[in-house]
């Protein structure tokens, strides 16, 4: 018997779950959500490292179309977000749509039948008229560029695969990396380790977080009238939108962030020599800001050593730096980020004429408004190329994408199910303008980051504000799409 759904969503993280809810809201019930693991939650399931939390305030870190959770703190911790996601799935009756342990191996567009043929890693096969990917940008842990990882005889793991069986108490621990993930686990590890050595390749601008638990009175205040929480959410949203200024080079906002970061450093680190080693030389905003109240104090602890010499290789007893020193440790935590430039989770996505996404993206990953790729009909990406932000909540971008994809699905329905494909010239013109605009962004400055390729082309970030993106995606511009010939329809 054929296993066919109108829509297949790939990934049951927040992106895919939100899409499922919106589909149900629109009365579209014929969809399946393929989840590669046995649990929903995506990044919030994977990142269980000590101190894991969101850098966006709780009130803003939720879908506007759902009842707002009774958040316990200003910034939500991972466990609270994951629990809220699981409740969300239950509340909206999504479980019957989710297939767990269903990892996509390949997706092939069948031109004659006008549908996608999906094969899963365990050999199962299914078809769908439309595929919506929600496989995220930050889920393939990387230790890229570090030699000898496997040679180490002690315990080691990546921050997104934290091994909670390994006890770090009283031991000599190394953290490789000091980005947003490491900045969250370093204070926790430093508090229990005998000694923590932090290997820093580039310093980061660190700005205050001002996190705290909500008091019972505050929680009641928001519960009594949800409009108050929406007001709070709107305030955070508008404030973050102003941060977009820091994502452009040489702006007053960027200068202001630099001033705030410098004051924060001076207030939290007394040793002037350590301060200078923790102070970046690249422009503000080039890399993601670290938002933390406890990272800098942790770096100033007597049991923490900052090493800025480059790593030569990992050896069986520790980390060898280029100055010849072997830093002996019992455990290594890799806070080294993710492979982010592929935008592919499945083995292969093959569109019209047998052309794969890998081939289409040989030069650079690109998608019209981050969602549609020419030659891949009825295929929409959530949080795809150039839709990440440095200044505001990704959930806002996802919500804009849901609205756009729903319009596309409606347009397909209105045209007797004829497949919808973005025009190549529309995609090329879009990406040209975007790349031109991105050249003036802070990310284009002289720093390393997961946002861009080795030749400094920014593949991950949207150049504008959230408001800009909402405006661009409010209306599906059918003139930039073609409906495939009726002969292709099923
Ligand atoms: P990341 O920002 O890519 O940072 C990786 C760190 O590892 C950097 O310090 C990097 O140094 C270092 N590193 C990488 N390869 C190295 C090598 N070969 N040798 C030495 N050092 C190396 O990764 P992340 O901290 O996991 O954060 C990724 C993204 O996840 C963030 O930007 C954010 O979007 C998201 N995130 C969000 C939160 C939150 O909301 N709270 C928390 C964590 C992560 P360089 O800086 O020199 O490249």
Cα 302 to Cα 177, 188, 191, 277, distances in angstroms: 19, 15, 11, 16
**CA distances for 421 relative to 66, 164, 368, 376, 433, angstroms:** 31, 46, 11, 6, 20
Which pLDDT value is given to residue 347?
75
Token representation of residue 191: 């508090």
Give the DSSP H/E element, type plus range, for residue 311.
Answer: strand 311-315
d(CA 474, CA 381): 16
Residues 6 or more apart whose CB falls under 8 angstroms from that of 83 comprise: none
List, in order, residues 6 or more apart from 302 with CB less than 8 Å away: none
Number of Cβ atoms within 10 Å of the Cβ of 221: 14
Rounded to an integer, what distance in angstroms lies between the CA atom of residue 316 and that of residue 149? 9
Q: Under a CB-based contact definition with an 8 Å cutoff, are residues 221 and 215 in contact?
A: no
Ligand 1 centroid to 10 CA: how many Å?
A: 25
Q: Measured between alpha carbons, how far is 16 from 8 in angstroms, rounded to an integer?
A: 10
Ligand 1 centroid from CA 450, angstroms: 8
| Best residue among 200, 201, 311, 390 to mutate for probing ligand 1, ranked by most atoms within 8 Å of CB | 201
Measured in Å, residue 142 CA sits from the centre of ligand 1 at 10
Q: Which DSSP category does 100 fall into?
A: T
Minimal-distance CA residue to ligand 1 atom 4: 179
Q: Which residues have C-beta atoms less than 6 Å from ligand 1?
A: 53-55, 138, 145-146, 159, 176-182, 184, 201-202, 288, 311, 335-337, 448, 450
The token duo for 103 is 């990892």
What local confidence, expressed as pLDDT, does residue 488 receive? 46
Residue 19 is encoded by which pair of tokens?
């899409």
Residue 404 and residue 398: Cα distance in Å, rounded?
Answer: 10
**Residue position matching structure tokens 């889920």:** 139
Nearest CA to ligand 1 atom 2: 179
Q: What is the residue with the minimal CA distance to atom 20 of ligand 1?
A: 201
Please tell me the predicted confidence (pLDDT) of residue 344. 82
Residue 454 Cα to chain centre, angstroms? 20
Spatial contact of 15 and 136, defined as CB atoms under 8 Å apart: yes
pLDDT attached to residue 343: 86
The three-class DSSP label of residue 290 is: strand
What is the number of the ligand 1 atom nearest to the C-alpha of 176?
21
Q: Which long-range contacts (CB under 8 A, 24 or more apart) does 267-276 make?
A: 268/296, 268/297, 268/300, 269/296, 269/297, 269/299, 269/300, 270/300, 271/300, 274/299, 274/300, 274/306
**CA 372 / ligand 1 centre spacing (Å):** 28
Report, in angstroms and rounded to the nearest whole number, the Rg of the chain calculated over CA atoms.
23
Distance separating alpha carbons of residues 120 and 98, to the nearest angstrom? 14
DSSP 259: H
Give me ligand 1 centre to Cα 246, in Å: 19
Among 75, 141, 41, 31, CA closest to 405: 31
Per-residue pLDDT 10s for the chain (490 aa) are 689 999 999 999 999 999 999 999 999 999 999 999 999 999 999 999 999 999 999 999 999 999 999 999 999 999 999 999 999 999 999 999 999 999 999 999 999 999 999 999 999 999 999 999 999 999 999 999 999 999 999 999 999 999 999 999 999 999 999 999 999 999 999 999 999 999 999 999 999 999 999 999 999 999 999 999 999 999 999 999 999 999 999 999 999 999 999 999 999 999 999 999 999 999 999 999 999 999 999 999 999 999 999 999 999 999 999 999 999 999 999 999 999 988 887 678 999 999 999 999 998 999 999 999 999 999 999 999 999 999 999 999 999 999 999 999 999 999 999 999 999 999 999 999 999 999 999 999 999 999 999 899 999 999 999 999 999 999 999 999 999 985 444 4
Residue 486 has what pLDDT? Answer: 55
pTM score above 0.95 = yes
Q: Over the range 313-341, which residues count as b (16 or more CB within 10 Å of their CB) and which as e?
A: ebbeebbbbeeeeebebbbbbbbbbbebb
Alpha-carbon gap, residue 194 to 391, rounded angstroms: 36
Ligand 1 closest atom vs CA 178: 9
Identify the pLDDT of residue 2: 81
Question: And the tokens for 49?
Answer: 């490292």
Atom of ligand 1 nearest to the CA of 449: 48
Which of 360, 489, 378 minimizes the C-alpha distance to 428?
360
The string of DSSP letters for 190-259 reads HHH-SEEEEE-SS---EE-----BPPHHHHHHHHH-HHHHHHHHHHHHHHHHHHGGGGBTT-HHHHHHHH
């Amino acid at each position: 018997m054929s296993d066919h759904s109108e829509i297949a969503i790939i990934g049951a993280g927040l992106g895919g779950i939100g899409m499922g809810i919106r589909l149900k809201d629109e009365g579209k019930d014929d969809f399946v959500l393929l989840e590669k693991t046995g649990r929903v939650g995506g990044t919030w399931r994977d990142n269980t490292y000590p101190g894991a939390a969101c850098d966006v305030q709780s009130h803003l870190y939720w879908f506007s179309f759902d009842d707002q959770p009774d958040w316990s703190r200003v910034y939500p911790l991972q466990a609270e977000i994951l629990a809220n996601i699981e409740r969300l799935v239950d509340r909206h009756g999504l479980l019957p749509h989710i297939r767990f342990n269903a990892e996509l191996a390949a997706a092939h567009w069948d031109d004659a039948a006008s549908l996608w043929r999906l094969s899963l890693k365990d050999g199962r096969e299914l078809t769908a008229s439309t595929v919506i990917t929600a496989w995220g940008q930050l889920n393939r842990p990387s230790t890229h560029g570090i030699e000898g990882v496997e040679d180490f005889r002690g315990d080691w793991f990546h921050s997104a695969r934290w091994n909670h069986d390994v006890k770090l108490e009283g031991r000599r621990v190394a953290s490789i990396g000091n980005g947003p993930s490491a900045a969250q686990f370093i204070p926790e590890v430093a508090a229990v380790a005998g000694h923590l050595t932090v290997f820093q390749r580039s310093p980061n601008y660190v700005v205050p977080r001002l996190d705290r638990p909500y008091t019972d009175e505050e929680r009641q205040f928001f519960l009594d009238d949800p409009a108050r929480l929406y007001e709070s959410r709107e305030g955070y949203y508008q404030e973050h939108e102003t941060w977009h200024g820091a994502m452009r080079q040489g702006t007053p906002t960027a200068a202001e962030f630099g001033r705030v970061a410098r004051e924060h450093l001076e207030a939290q680190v007394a040793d002037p020599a350590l301060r200078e080693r923790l102070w970046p030389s690249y422009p503000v905003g080039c890399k993601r800001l670290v938002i933390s109240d406890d990272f800098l104090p942790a770096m100033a602890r007597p049991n923490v050593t900052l090493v800025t010499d480059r790593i030569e290789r990992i050896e069986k007893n520790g980390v060898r730096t280029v100055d010849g020193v072997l830093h002996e440790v019992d455990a290594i935590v890799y806070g080294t980020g993710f492979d982010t430039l592929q935008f592919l989770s499945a083995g292969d996505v093959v569109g019209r004429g047998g052309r794969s996404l890998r081939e289409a993206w040989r030069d650079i990953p690109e998608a019209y408004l981050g969602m549609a790729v020419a030659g891949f009909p009825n295929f929409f990406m959530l949080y795809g190329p150039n839709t990440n932000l440095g200044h505001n909540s990704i959930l806002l971008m996802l919500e804009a994408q849901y609205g756009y994809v729903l319009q596309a699905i409606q347009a397909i329905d209105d045209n007797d199910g004829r497949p919808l494909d973005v025009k190549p010239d529309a995609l090329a013109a879009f990406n040209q303008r975007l790349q031109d605009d991105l050249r003036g962004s802070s990310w284009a400055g002289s720093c390393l980051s997961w946002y861009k390729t080795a030749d400094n082309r920014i593949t991950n970030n949207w150049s504008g504000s959230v408001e800009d993106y909402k405006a661009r995606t409010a209306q599906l511009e059918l003139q930039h799409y073609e409906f495939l010939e009726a002969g292709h329809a099923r």
